[in-house]
Structure 1
Amino acid sequence: MRYRHGNQSASGYVLFVPENETTEADTVYYMGITLFNTSDSGNRHLDVNESVQLLVTVHSSACLFWDEQKEIWSSEGCKVSPLSTAVTLHCVCHHMTVFSGSFSILPNAIDIVADSALFLTLLENPLVVSIVLCVWGIYLAVVIWARKKDREDLLKAGVTVLEDNDPEHKYGYLITVITGWRTGAGTTANVGCFITGEDGESDCHVLSDPRRPVFESGGVDSFLLTCAQCLGDLVSVTIWHDNSGTAPAWFLEKLTVRDLQRNEVCEFLCNRWLALDLDDFCIQRTLRPASVEEMKDFSYLFSSNSGFSMREKHLWVSVFSCPPNCPFTRTQRLTCALTLLLTTMLTNIMFYGIPTDDPEDQYQ
């Protein structure tokens, strides 16, 4: 197809290509431009040695309406008018409905070879390069810390078999203790507990691990406790600490007890301090199994879900707060965050382009 000229607008010429001429899929279109110089003597072709700068932009537009029967945006009965421009959409429709317009602006092509010449202009505008170098510098510094924390998390993950378990006891319970995620929530004290069921009571056990620190702020610690026999349906868990160490105050969020033989899980909510100088000044709690109403309580669901989402699902915050047993490591999260940031910067270049005016004018 050949177009001799297009509609002239305030910003230049507009070449309108109807939809029925661009319906073939996977088709490459080529465009050639012939320039004429308008003078008093009439139109003449430009000389070969003359240099002319052209700015060509391509955009796609559509006129749509909401089809209530099909529940989709449809273009049936509507078409884009040749009077449309890059800033104005003119629709021609043969039915009276509420209309909407759609614009699709193609991104700028990224030519790595051609764009490499921009490195020669670093001294003219060093701001962008300085920002990118700072981003990489911060990443390298934080990734060293993140890799170190990942090694520490490997030691914290897993289940600790309590040293004071009786070798003759074969009935196992898995106790998972969740420390609150707040300032000073962890404890340096020695923590003990025992489980009470309808058919008996376990021995008192000290929840500790000689290989690693436990009950840190936001920590999730699991312990294997054994009993001589099944305790039946659980009635309570009594937990305490001896108020030792430099920071004995402890905020216990909750703990769960799993009967490994019957594969039953019972949750015990706490959300209170065990401290002599906070809350009700007690360092021992007797927790009852959480009821269905407590588990569905709005305040509990909001606090637990928001805390979990922030600690494990927020890409930036989780770099510093993810639990040790999470398979998505801190280094991986940090690298994903860097990739997201650099991709966003690249996308801005693709859709907004690189400034071509004088760098000094950009500060005015």
Structure 2
Amino acid sequence: DENENEVSIQTNMSHPIEIIIPRDPNIIIPPMILQNVTSMNYTPHNQLFDLHYLNITSSLSISIHFEIQSLNISLAYLFIYKFDQLPQLNTSINSIDGWTLFCPLNLTNQTSYTYFINNQQTSDHQSIIYGLRELNSTEMINTCSNTSISSLPITDQRFNFTSNYQLRIYTSVGPLTNHYETQCFSTHLTSFASGFVILPESINWNYIFANADFLKNKTIYLTVICVSIIYIILIIYARFKDKKDLEKLGVTPLPDNHQSDQYFYQIIVFTGHRQNAETNSNVHFIIYGDNDETHIRTLADSQRKILQRGGIDSFIMAVPESLGLLNCIRIWHDNTGKGSSSSWFLKYIIILDLQTME
């Protein structure tokens, strides 16, 4: 008290202490997430509610605050939920843990509907699945105009949203918690603090597989199919190119080699990169050495194209005996190629004696 004397306070679970903690005015409030539900009206489905899954597994008790803002504030909604299971509500089955109506008459100075689930309700549960349905004009007149209504507006018709809505979900302590202050309850006095935590929507595989038919997910299926087809085509194309590259790596024996010739030279030919550097003409050459010279030889390969732009082609030439120290090479082509493939740009050529490796 004002004399710094301890004040005795008796509390219990039914009459806790209420504490209001102002929030930091500089805190950035997470934005609401747009739910594009009108796009589903044109997709074949049998859903009565726009359903969402929320994981509430935690070592601490969690209370949940739902904030829903319609882009058309004149519309009314039915909100349902069920813990750990899929909520079902139609003329033949009523399997939900809670529900509420969002009517335009309930909006005073706010533009958002709010709903609160305390930590006593969420205890011993791992998840909550909630759903929202827009009421038609008849349901809205019958329910929102009657303040004492106690029955649910039940239908077997699939949902038909005429407007999208925005959604924000966060953990809170008391039902009066908002963007500016936190409401806390306690049965003992201690230090208190509060924060703003947005709960992510975890993946519920059971819900996904239960709603995995093609008609409900045409866009997803078509995207996966198209990506898979493109991937397979690219694999085939890449494999084809790999085989072509392997062919280029091979060493080709010259077709005019004689079986009796046992002295070998490797000839590596580099074709330039300039435009129209490749040739389809017949290329011939003569190599001159100190000891001997070759007869007219031909660069050819019956299995693949050679002397292509930017290409490196390797050949094995067989001769009767060593040519000795190589002096020069005379190389030419006969211009038999068609169009731009008649000429040839030879960048350089390497000749290697495979016996002496010189």
Greater Cα radius of gyration, structure 1 or 2: 2
Q: Settle same-fold status: TM greater than 0.5.
A: no
Give TM-score scaled by structure 2 length. Answer: 0.40
Q: Which has the higher helix share?
A: 1
